[in-house]
Amino acid sequence: MADLYACRKKTIMEMKKVLAGWSKVCPGCNIGRKYPDSFIGKKVRNHWEKGYSSHDAYVEVYGSDEPSPKKSKEESEDK
């Protein structure tokens, strides 16, 4: 029984990784993360609040819905 549970848990995590991967390439999701205050970004974030399984999986797999800081921004702050 424990093996069945472990197998099911592994399968669910694999599915979440696939959904999270889609969220990384989805144009709407990218705009929602990169430009949250834009017109489209607000619409996308509103959609996420209503429930969007790809975004939920992205947050669970990667731990955040915010984009990683750009390298150029980090360099400009160091100067």
User: What pTM was estimated for this model as a whole?
Assistant: 0.57
Examine residue 2 and state whether it is found in any structural domain, yes or no: no
Examine residue 50 and state whether it is found in any structural domain, yes or no: yes
pLDDT tens for 18-34 read 877 777 778 888 888 88
Examine residue 49 and state whether it is found in any structural domain, yes or no: yes
> Which range among 16-30, 31-45, 48-62 has the greatest average pLDDT?
31-45
- What is the total count of domains within the chain? 1
Distances (CA, A) of 7 to 12, 13, 19: 9, 10, 19
Structural domain harbouring 35: 17-65
Q: Is 69 helix (H, G, I), strand (E, B) or coil?
A: coil
Examine residue 1 and state whether it is found in any structural domain, yes or no: no
Examine residue 9 and state whether it is found in any structural domain, yes or no: no
